[in-house]
Amino acid sequence: MIKLIIFDYDGVIVDSFANVHAVYKLICKKLGKKCPAKLADFKKVYGHSSHECYNNLGFSEEERIKGNLIFKEEILKKEQKPFEGISEVLKKLHKNYQLALVSSSYKVEVEQRLKELGLSKLFNFIRARQGHVRRFQKSRSIKIVIIHFAIKPNEILLVGDRNVDFIAGSKAGLKNILLVEYGWGYDAKEIPEYQQKALVKSPKDILRAAKKF
């Protein structure tokens, strides 16, 4: 029986990829790098994480640090739109489950957006990037959430949208993982172990899907 649902942020709660692309174009312009103009091309360059993106764009360690500083400042200026229906879904889930959020986005951004959307009080625990950490370890953060709630891994459902979410959840010992179709996108061929128990084409489908775990 599921007692806790851990949500990803980007691609599950907010439709943020266009904003991320816009900020990376600005970063590249300031640091003399070339960023793909088209969103589809940027998705290929971005890969599975910001770490991979910086590598693909040819950033040095010093440029990476500068890029993170620019990103942290500029992303807060962007309006992050929630996916249609996600607010209502979270409010309904909150009545029956404890909710947590784990994101590689900066915590200051996540907390600000959730407050603006009136959703911050729905989450019992938020774990996100702080400071200038080069690489956010999602699996470690998920383990911290598990310890915090003292709930068995088989009583937890992780909701994400990318391969890295499945990989991080698996490394943390989770078996109940749900990847949504409406987010940034995942490649099922790269994660053959992923068992799709339900197809989630929109946030409202999460309500039905959660009952299958």
pTM of the model: 0.90
Q: What is the pLDDT of residue 47?
A: 85
Q: What is the pLDDT of residue 144?
A: 96
81 Cβ partners below 8 Å, 6+ apart? 14, 15
Over residues 17-66, the pLDDT tens digits come to 899 999 999 999 999 999 999 999 998 899 888 888 999 999 999 999 99
Task: Flag the least confident range among 2-6, 11-15, 45-49, 190-194.
Answer: 45-49
The strand pairing partners of 126, in sequence order, are 101
At residue 131, does pLDDT exceed 80?
A: no
Over residues 200-209, the pLDDT tens digits come to 999 999 999 9
At residue 3, does pLDDT exceed 90?
A: yes
DSSP state of 79: P
**Residue 147 — very low, low, confident or very high, per pLDDT cuts 50/70/90?**
very high
Q: What is the pLDDT of residue 122?
A: 97
User: CA 97, CA 101: separation in Å to the nearest integer?
Assistant: 13
User: CA 90, CA 97: separation in Å to the nearest integer?
Assistant: 10
Environment class of residue 201 by beta-carbon count within 10 Å: exposed (0-12), middle (13-18) or buried (19+)? exposed
